[in-house]
Structure formats: C-alpha cells, structure tokens
C-alpha cells in the first residue's frame, strides 16, 4: 500500500463509493490520510438513561422497544420516532425528515446513540443523534468526518483505520529545526492523534501542527507565486510629462486633502519603473471614483490603455456615463463592455480595443473574457473589489504585461488579513468625506412608526428630493414573512399619488434596469423601490432619503452600504431602518447604525455580531479552500507561519532544494496545478 494508490485499493470502495469520495476530493490514499475530521465524539463515558439530564451530551447504549409509525408530523415535517430503553429507564429518539431510517432500525436491537439530551413534555429525548449498532460501535474519542451522501461515518472510520500504516510514509516536510523552534509535533504524531486521539491534549497538539502546516503552505505558495510573477518583468512607467492637473482642474469640485494625498501616492507609483500594486480603502461616499478617473487619465496621457471593472451592470453603466462624458470632453475615447451589450456593438468595441482606438474600457466582468484583447494595457482598476475573487483579478491583470494595478474597496480589512489576501500591496486610505457632507440622520423604528416615516418621505418629495425604499424580497413569498418590492411599490404608488414611483430589481431585463436608473439619475423618478441591486456604488446626490424595510434581514455592513446611497450631496439626508420583531441582534444593529457613520467601526461591530465566518469566508476572497485552518480564528498562528515562510523563501526563493520538495508538493496540492496565482 502506497500513498499514491487509488482509493479503490481499499476494501469496500467500488466505483460508486469512489465517485462519492471524489466529491470530497479524495482520490488517493494520501488524500484519505489528509482528510481531516470536522469534530469528535467523546464516547469514553457511556451514560445510562437513568443518569441523563437535559443538555448533557454523551453516548447511550439502548434497545429499540418501539418504532412509532409514520404520519406523525410537526411543523410540516415527517418525523421518525423511536422509543429506546436500558435497564435504568427509557427515552425518545427523534429524526426529522428521515423516513428512510425507518427500515434501518430493528425492534429489539441495541444501538449506541450519541447526541445532546433534551426534554419534551417531561420526556427525555435525543434529536438526530449519531447512531451505530451496539455490536459494531467504536469507543474512545471518535473522529467525525465531513461527509457526503453515500458514505457513512462508519465506513469512513474503517477506511481511515485501514490507511493508518501509511502515516509513517507521509513525508514530514518541516525541518527538525523548524519544529523545535515552533514547538511542533511530528507529522506522524499529528496524523495519529487527529484521526485517533487518545486524549484531548494530544488532539490539540496534533491540530496545532496541522493548522500551522496549512497556513505555512498557503503563505509560502502565495509569496512564491507573487515573486515569480514579478520576476524578469519590468513594470510600466507612465510619463512624467503626462500632466494630470489639467484634468483635476476640470473637475466640478476641488479634491479633498485625503483624495489629493491618495492621488499623489498613485502618481508616484505610476511614474516608477516598478509596477503599481495599490489598494485604495475609502468609506462609502469618500470619492474613490475621482481618484480612479485621474489614474485612468494619467494612463491615457502616457499613451497606454486602461480598464475599469465594476461588479454590477448598474455600477459599470454609471461609471461609463460619468467618466465617459468627462473624458470625451478631453478627447479620450471610452468603450463599454458587459453581457448586455449587443453582438454587433460588442464586435466593434472589441476591434477598437485591439487596435488601440478605444483608450479606456469600462465594464463588468465581461472585460476579462478571453476575446477581449488590448493593444497596450498599462493600468487595471477594480471597483468594489471585495466583490471579485482572486482569480478574476488575476485574469484582468493578465490582459497586459505586468500592468499597474489599482483596487478600490469600501470594506475595511484588518491588516493581518489583507497581508494574506493582497500580499505586500501598498494601501492608500481616503479617511475624509467631501466638504459640506453632514452625517446621514439615522433612525431605527418599529412597524408602528412606519406611517410617520412615509409621511416624512412625502415632505422630502415636496421639497423636490428623491428617495430610495429597499426591501429584502422581490415578490411576496409564503415561506418568508417580509415585505416585497412589488407590494411596497404598489402601496407607495397610492400613498404618493402625483409622484413617480418605480420599481427595480435583480430579475429585470438589463435594458429595463438601465432605463429606470437613468430616469432616477435625471430626476424623472421620485421614489425608487429596490432590492439590494442598488447596494453598491450608486450615486444620485439629489436622493436624500433611504428607507429600509425589514431591516432585520440585512447585515450591518450591508445597511451601511445602503445608507451610503444618500448623503452624497449638500442636502441633509435621512435613513430609516424599519425593523420587524424584537430580536436582540436586530436591536443592536439599529443602535449601532444610529450611533455611528464610520465604516471601519461598523465593520468591527459586524464582525462581533455575526461572527467571523461570513466576512472572512475564503470563498468570498477567492482563496483556496482550507481544511483545518480558519483565517479569522488563527491569526496568531498565521503570523508565525508567515515569518517562517519568509525565512524559507529567502534561502530558497523557488523552492528548488531537496529540503523543500515536500513543501512544494503540498503547495501544489493546495492550489492545484495552476500555481500561477500572481497576487
């Protein structure tokens, strides 16, 4: 038996099981060895039913005395109910929506049930416990694996047992020196104790080692790829004679100090031989677009093409309309690309991009499609970059030969994490709003004040202002109890007779959405009822009211983004968050929104309320899926690993030495063959 052998070598793995295992990314025995548990069951203490009390978690061996026939429902769900007992008492075991289990259990047989004890009408219960036939049940601390349909914990545990002899063949890619410096156990010990832990302490040591490994592999891989991408390629230096002041002077306002600083930093980068790699962080409304425009202008004046990619069609259009008309006044030719552009027009635009006639391209992810070829791309910009994955950014950059890169975001990212995500990207912060802005007055209210809220909106309309009303749903739904955009727009049409109320949502045709957004920009729509399609970037300074219906359905960061749609002009602006129900977390969110308009503060609070998973999900940032490490929880280990990664790469930048061959293999495993992850 060897690590590289296929799983079909294992007893009980035929084509069907192999297919199921493939879904878990397990193809070889090595994959099996490195497939880690998601949790553990401590079966060392078997409990008797007589000892059980509410909220205990443990293993109980008991005999099935009755299988209650189906037809029993609760909350519309089909239930399977078992009565089980030992000589100290009896309890119920409940499974929801699991009728197939009916034929799995046999009356009179004994099983081991593992789960949490609850009480229902005084009766002891276990709901959805893990279970095994008592005669086959394992003991000790048992690993629980993240499985897929067609594979049981029991099968997985058997296979894991079968590959145990391979642990000693798994190459320990860390040097003894590094292990002792970081107090790490051997890989063999780690594998042994993560799959078959004897006690909690050894399990912790094992996990620490494996988390460290994963983070080391992640960081070494990203750093090495980054270095390789830069190597031998010079950046593009823009001309010192390309004067941006002419463009800045033509703007309808003067730049804030923060914008000016940011522009200076960018210009310095652009004029240097080194490729620019810069992140601009600025809260909603801080004026990031102007900064991007100036950079685009500099590129064109230096004789290069430039591209700006936005995450939504509406936002891309808005940039095209705004920047496009400003640039035309300077004789700069701007092209637009998105999936909604017709075939003939698209062909023409593509041709002009290829020949260099179009100097600036603005669009959605359509700009990274293979058929888009540039004559001489010198600058790429992504707006609201947190909406894009790593891969999309890389693709955009690959449209040129090491072009200058600028990414813009309103989402604050803790430094520790941005180091991993963006490497050594330089950061500019726009920490100032344009003058004359007043904070948006925010009120979180209950349903009882809804009428008052809309009376207020009406007064604003009478003053010639415009309003947004955002709802969580497009249409009414049976299963979700929340207001829908359709319903609200009907209601508001009646309430605001004499004003133009329009509806916009994600399921509409693009042309229709464009028309509506256009009309709202021009002021020929007064009230725009919308779903979150307007969440990012939209800029209509005359809109002064934002009403969010069922605000409890939105996260804090999202509410902040929505509120950022108003307060963009000189007029005083208002935001009403209408909450349904009294949930604690909703109340807390409302308070935070009333108290603060600082995106960084709000993001931190969001983190506390929602937990880190949602914000730092690797998927959201386009990183490879991690097995055991968690970027939000293991920042400390990450810093350790990062330090070690640097040491390794300083000595051996391309990981060519025999000593690092194991590490290199692990990097390939994590990122896949395509390691050209130029971050």
Binding site for Mg ion (CB under 5 A): 537
Q: How far is the CB of 432 from ligand ADP (least distance, A)?
A: 9
Residues in contact with 109: Cβ distance below 8 Å, sequence separation at least 6, in sequence order: 63, 64, 133, 134
Q: Tell me the CA distances in angstroms from 238 to 273, 298, 443, 551, one per residue in order.
A: 8, 7, 48, 47
Q: How many residues bind ligand ADP (CB under 6 A)?
A: 18
**Do the beta carbons of residue 92 and residue 52 sit within 8 Å?**
no
Choose one: 53-61, 112-120, 173-181, 282-290; the region binding ligand ADP (CB under 6 A). 282-290
Q: How far is the CB of 433 from ligand ADP (least distance, A)?
A: 8
3-class SS at 677?
Answer: coil
Q: How far is the CB of 409 from Mg ion (least distance, A)?
A: 9
d(CA 47, CA 644): 46
d(CA 671, CA 612): 23
Q: Which is nearer to Mg ion, 206 or 291 (CB)?
A: 291
Residue 281, contacted partner among Mg ion, ligand ADP, none, CB below 5-8 A by kind: none
Q: Which is nearer to ligand ADP, 190 or 362 (CB)?
A: 362
Is there binding between residue 599 and ligand ADP (CB under 6 A)?
no
Which stretches of 118-199 are DSSP H helices? 153-162, 176-181, 187-195
Is there binding between residue 256 and ligand ADP (CB under 6 A)?
yes
Residue 628, contacted partner among ligand ADP, Mg ion, none, CB below 5-8 A by kind: none
Task: Give the CA radius of gyration of the chain.
Answer: 30
Is there binding between residue 78 and ligand ADP (CB under 6 A)?
no
Is there binding between residue 284 and ligand ADP (CB under 6 A)?
yes
* Helices 200-230, 415-422: crossing angle, 10 deg rounding: 50
537-596 binders of ligand ADP (CB under 6 A): 537, 539, 541, 568
Is there binding between residue 255 and ligand ADP (CB under 6 A)?
yes
Q: Output 604-610 pairs: Cβ under 8 A, ≥24 positions apart.
A: 605/556, 606/555, 606/556, 606/557, 609/556, 609/585, 610/555, 610/556
Is there binding between residue 411 and ligand ADP (CB under 6 A)?
no
As given in the structure block, the two tokens for residue 316 are 């891309």
**Do the beta carbons of residue 444 and residue 593 sit within 8 Å?**
yes
3-class SS at 674?
Answer: coil
d(CA 17, CA 37): 19
Q: How many helices and strands in the chain, by DSSP H and E?
A: 23, 23
What's the number of CA atoms in the CB half-sphere (13 Å) around residue 383? 30
DSSP lists the bridge partners of residue 58 as: 115
For ligand ADP, which residue of 160, 193, 219, 289 counts as binding (CB under 6 A)?
289
Q: How far is the CB of 249 from ligand ADP (least distance, A)?
A: 13
Residue 285, contacted partner among Mg ion, ligand ADP, none, CB below 5-8 A by kind: ligand ADP
Using the 8-state DSSP alphabet, how is residue 645 labeled? H
Q: How far is the CB of 323 from Mg ion (least distance, A)?
A: 12
Q: How far is the CB of 408 from Mg ion (least distance, A)?
A: 7
User: What are phi and psi for residue 589, nearest 5 degrees?
Assistant: -60, -45
Is there binding between residue 317 and ligand ADP (CB under 6 A)?
no
d(CA 69, CA 85): 18
Q: How far is the CB of 310 from Mg ion (least distance, A)?
A: 8
For ligand ADP, which residue of 197, 311, 335, 434 counts as binding (CB under 6 A)?
434
Is there binding between residue 386 and ligand ADP (CB under 6 A)?
no
Is there binding between residue 286 and ligand ADP (CB under 6 A)?
yes
Q: How far is the CB of 318 from Mg ion (least distance, A)?
A: 9
User: What are phi and psi for residue 462, nearest 5 degrees?
Assistant: -60, -30
Closest among 417, 396, 43 to 222, alpha carbons compared: 417
**Do the beta carbons of residue 338 and residue 366 sit within 8 Å?**
yes
Q: Which is nearer to Mg ion, 311 or 537 (CB)?
A: 537
As given in the structure block, the two tokens for residue 674 are 């395509």
d(CA 605, CA 17): 45
Task: Sketch the per residue contact string, 503 through 542, with ligand ADP: x for CB under 6 A, - otherwise.
Answer: ----------------------------------x-x-x-
Q: Which is nearer to Mg ion, 89 or 322 (CB)?
A: 322
Choose one: 128-136, 251-259, 544-552, 626-634; the region binding ligand ADP (CB under 6 A). 251-259
**Do the beta carbons of residue 671 and residue 677 sit within 8 Å?**
yes
Residue 221, contacted partner among Mg ion, ligand ADP, none, CB below 5-8 A by kind: none
Q: How far is the CB of 288 from ligand ADP (least distance, A)?
A: 4
DSSP code string of 298-322: HHHHTT-EEEEE-SSHHHHHHHHHH
User: What is the enclosing helix (H) or strand (E) of 335?
Assistant: strand 334-337
Is there binding between residue 285 and ligand ADP (CB under 6 A)?
yes
Instruction: Name the residue whose CB lies closest to Mg ion.
Output: 537
d(CA 439, CA 445): 18
**Do the beta carbons of residue 443 and residue 578 sit within 8 Å?**
no
For ligand ADP, which residue of 37, 129, 197, 282 counts as binding (CB under 6 A)?
282
Residue 412, contacted partner among Mg ion, ligand ADP, none, CB below 5-8 A by kind: none
Residue 639, contacted partner among Mg ion, ligand ADP, none, CB below 5-8 A by kind: none
Q: Which is nearer to Mg ion, 322 or 612 (CB)?
A: 322
Q: Which is nearer to ligand ADP, 89 or 322 (CB)?
A: 322
Residue 597, contacted partner among ligand ADP, Mg ion, none, CB below 5-8 A by kind: none
Residues in contact with 106: Cβ distance below 8 Å, sequence separation at least 6, in sequence order: 64
Is there binding between residue 250 and ligand ADP (CB under 6 A)?
no
Closest among 379, 368, 383, 381 to 316, alpha carbons compared: 383
122-181 binders of ligand ADP (CB under 6 A): none
For ligand ADP, which residue of 58, 138, 221, 287 counts as binding (CB under 6 A)?
287
Query: Residue with structure tokens 């042309």?
Result: 511
Q: Which is nearer to Mg ion, 532 or 675 (CB)?
A: 532
For ligand ADP, which residue of 4, 70, 253, 646 counts as binding (CB under 6 A)?
253
3-class SS at 28?
Answer: strand
Q: Which is nearer to ligand ADP, 245 or 582 (CB)?
A: 245
Is there binding between residue 395 and ligand ADP (CB under 6 A)?
no
Q: Which is nearer to Mg ion, 367 or 461 (CB)?
A: 367
Q: Which is nearer to Mg ion, 31 or 384 (CB)?
A: 384
**Which residues sit at the interface with ligand ADP, rule CB under 6 A?**
253, 255-256, 259, 282, 284-290, 410, 434, 537, 539, 541, 568
């Amino acid at each position: 038996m060897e690590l590289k052998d296929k799983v079909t070598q294992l007893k009980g793995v035929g084509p069907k099981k192999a297919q199921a295992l493939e879904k878990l990314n397990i193809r070889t025995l090595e994959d099996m060895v490195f497939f880690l548990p998601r949790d553990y069951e401590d079966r060392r203490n078997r409990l008797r039913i007589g000892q059980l009390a509410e909220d205990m978690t443990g293993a109980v061996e008991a005999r099935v005395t009755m299988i209650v026939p189906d037809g029993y429902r609760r909350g519309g769900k089909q239930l399977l109910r078992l009565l089980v007992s030992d000589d100290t008492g009896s309890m119920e075991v409940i499974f929801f929506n699991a009728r197939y289990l009916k034929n799995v259990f046999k009356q009179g047989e004994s099983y081991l049930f593992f789960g949490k004890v609850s009480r229902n009408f005084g009766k002891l219960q276990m709901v959805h416990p893990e279970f095994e036939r008592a005669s086959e049940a394992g003991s000790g601390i048992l690993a629980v694996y993240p499985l897929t349909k067609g594979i049981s914990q029991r099968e997985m545990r058997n296979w894991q047992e079968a590959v145990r002899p391979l642990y000693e063949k798994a190459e320990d890619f860390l040097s003894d020196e590094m292990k002792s410096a970081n107090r790490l156990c051997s890989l063999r010990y780690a594998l042994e104790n993560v799959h078959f832990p004897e006690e909690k302490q050894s399990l912790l040591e094992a996990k620490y080692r494996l988390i460290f490994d994963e983070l080391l592999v992640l960081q070494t891989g990203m750093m090495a790829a980054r270095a390789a991408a830069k190597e031998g390629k010079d950046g593009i230096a823009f001309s010192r004679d390309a004067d941006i002041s002419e463009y800045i002077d033509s703007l309808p306002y003067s730049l804030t100090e923060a914008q000016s600083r940011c522009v200076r930093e960018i210009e310095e980068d652009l004029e240097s031989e080194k490729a620019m790699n810069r992140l601009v962080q600025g809260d909603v409304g801080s004026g990031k677009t102007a900064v991007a425009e100036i950079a685009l202008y500099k590129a064109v004046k230096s004789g290069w093409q430039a591209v700006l990619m936005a995450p939504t069609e509406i936002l891309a259009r808005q940039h095209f309309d705004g920047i496009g008309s400003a640039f035309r006044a300077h004789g700069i030719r701007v092209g637009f690309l998105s999936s909604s552009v017709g075939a003939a027009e698209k062909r023409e635009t593509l041709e002009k991009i290829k020949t260099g006639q179009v100097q600036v391209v603005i669009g959605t992810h359509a700009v990274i499609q293979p058929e888009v070829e540039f004559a001489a791309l010198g600058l790429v910009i992504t707006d609201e970059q947190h909406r894009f994955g790593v891969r999309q950014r890389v693709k955009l950059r690959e449209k040129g030969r090491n072009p200058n890169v600028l990414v813009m975001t309103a989402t604050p990212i803790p430094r520790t994490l941005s180091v991993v995500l963006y490497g050594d990207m330089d950061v500019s912060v726009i920490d100032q709003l344009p003058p004359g802005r007043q904070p948006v007055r925010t009120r979180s209210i209950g349903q009882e004040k809804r009428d008052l809220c809309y009376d207020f909106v009406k007064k604003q309309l009478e003053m010639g202002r415009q309003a947004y009303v955002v709802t969580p749903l497009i249409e009414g739904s049976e299963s979700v109890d929340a207001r829908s955009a359709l319903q609200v727009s009907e209601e508001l049409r009646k309430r605001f007779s004499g004003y133009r109320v329009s509806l916009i949502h994600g399921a509409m045709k693009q042309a229709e959405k464009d028309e509506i957004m256009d009309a709202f920009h021009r002021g020929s729509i007064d009230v725009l009822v919308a779903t979150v399609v307007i969440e990012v970037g939209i800029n209509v300074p005359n809109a002064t009211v934002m009403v969010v219906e069922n605000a409890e359905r939105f996260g804090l960061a999202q509410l902040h983004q929505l509120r950022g749609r108003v307060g963009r002009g000189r007029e005083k602006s208002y935001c009403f968050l209408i909450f349904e129900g009294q949930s604690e977390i909703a109340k807390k969110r409302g308070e935070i929104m009333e108290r603060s308009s600082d995106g960084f503060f709000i993001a931190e609070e969001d983190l506390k309320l929602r937990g880190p998973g949602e914000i730092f999900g690797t998927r959201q940032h386009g990183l490879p899926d991690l097995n055991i490490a968690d970027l939000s929880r293991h920042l400390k280990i990450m810093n350790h690993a990062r330090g070690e990664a640097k040491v390794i790469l300083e000595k051996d930048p391309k990981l060519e030495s025999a000593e690092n061959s194991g590490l290199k293999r692990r990097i390939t495993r994590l990122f896949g063959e395509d390691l050209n992850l130029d971050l």
